[in-house]
Amino acid sequence: MNKTEGLKPERVFHYFEELTKIPRCSFDEKRVSDYLKSVGEGLGLETIQDEALNIIIKKPGSKGYESKPTVIIQGHMDMVCDRSEGFDIDFSRDPIPFEVRDGLIMAPNTTLGADNGIAVAMGLAILEDKTLEHPPLEVLITTNEESGMTGAAQLDKKNLSGKILINIDSEEEGKLLVSCAGGKRFSIEIPVNFKVTDKSSFTLKVSGLKGGHSGMEIDKGRGNSNRLLARALDGLREIDYDLCHIEGGSKSNVIPRLSSAIICLADSDIEKARVIVNEMEKHFKGELSTSDPHVTLTLEKTKDRVKAFEDTVKLKVIAALLLVPNGVNSMSMDIEGLVESSNNMGVISTLEDKVVLENAIRSSVKSLKDMLSRQMEIIAESLGANWSSSGEYPAWQYRKDSYIRDLFAQTYREISGKEMEIEAIHAGLECGLFYELLGDIDMVSLGPDMWGVHAPGERLSIDSVERTYNILVEVLSKIN
């Protein structure tokens, strides 16, 4: 018996549960792409799987709708894969361990993949349902949205003919998104030289943070474990300690929840270090008492190391972590409450010969995105570090006249009796790339209520899925 049996819309949740069984972390999408291809072909529909593993499934318009404008229904197949500390799962093999309770589908110890599995499930359910009234459809399911949108960037426009696009990659019911930020990934690589150390080794760890989506939740004041760890390391500067290893975060577009460093201390400095760490923890708890009250900073004995970073490397690593901009950089003067530009210091890792710092820059203004990138270039060059950028995607600009936006607003009003909120967001959607690829296409983005995306504990509202799906189906029946 499936866990979602009895939930409505039945076929939406059937496909959603099937997706939880298939590995689909970013860059590991071959199996899920093949599954989607098999579904499309099994329905007898024209199905395209391109070299980037994107899937396009085309369904003719229902009777009387054959000549209506073609509509693209779009989502992405990959998910952010993250787990609670100590929870055992192999995302390349194991299904997502979710639960159904209290009106929610939730994954207590991992990410759920509702972002964006629910869009894929809705698209497949619409393709399967022969009773629906709708124009010609192109269900577009892209790859690697979460780590650079490279699937959307590699689409061939000859495979798509739609002039209206409905993206289902938003996370609040009743809100219709009509603009989003652009972004890019930026990496700093600090070369590492080592020295011998005979001091005792300890793990300095920041944990207990909420983390979250680096676009939607960057303005929530949550702690960034990489930044906090850097502050703790800097707080120990009066002690002659060695830094042996540093790591933190899981994805560049996820606010990091857990970071740690291995430091080496002389026996005479251990107690002093504990005092400093305890004081730093009090500072963190005070600063984050509302947004991240469970933050912890610990210092625990670990297996001794014989090799540590040279002192100049240690100082460069700490300087980079303290100097690189993190969090909200500017707020929009045109749209109240909208973050205009930001950076998320998402991942720090120690490799064989370098320490790598990975960032996710976002901005609805290209010049500000470029400015943040340039700022990091200067920081890297000042520290004698290397830098690179990748995965750049454009912002989706607001369109003054939009047929599909007005149709959604009207339909939502008729069904719910409420006004739909029209918003712009500080998150990256693929819509900017689609506009560049397909030209003057009319687009909106919507989705059901979900919370905690990109972090363990992600959850999805069952009733909200049903309401959102019903709105979507009704809009398709009204396309002219």
Residues contacting 184, CB < 8 A, separation 6+: 361, 369, 373, 389, 390, 391, 392, 393
Cα–Cα distance measured from residue 334 to residue 332, given in angstroms and rounded to the nearest whole number = 5
Query: Is the CA virtual torsion 378, 348, 458, 392 positive or negative?
Result: positive
Whose structure tokens read 């702690």? 223
Q: Which of 17, 18, 78, 358 is catalytic?
A: 78
Q: Check if 381 is active-site.
A: no
Side-by-side strand order, sheet with 99-101:
99-101, 104-106, 459-461, 450-451
How large is the angle between the packed helices 270-287 and 225-235, nearest 10 degrees? 140
Distance of CA 78 to the CA centre of its chain: 10
Q: Which of 145, 172, 173, 392 is catalytic?
A: 145
Beta carbons of 262 and 302 less than 8 angstroms apart: yes
Q: Check if 82 is active-site.
A: no
Give the Å distances, CA to CA, from 162 to 135, 153, 223, 478. Answer: 10, 17, 42, 16
- Tell me the catalytic residues: 78, 145
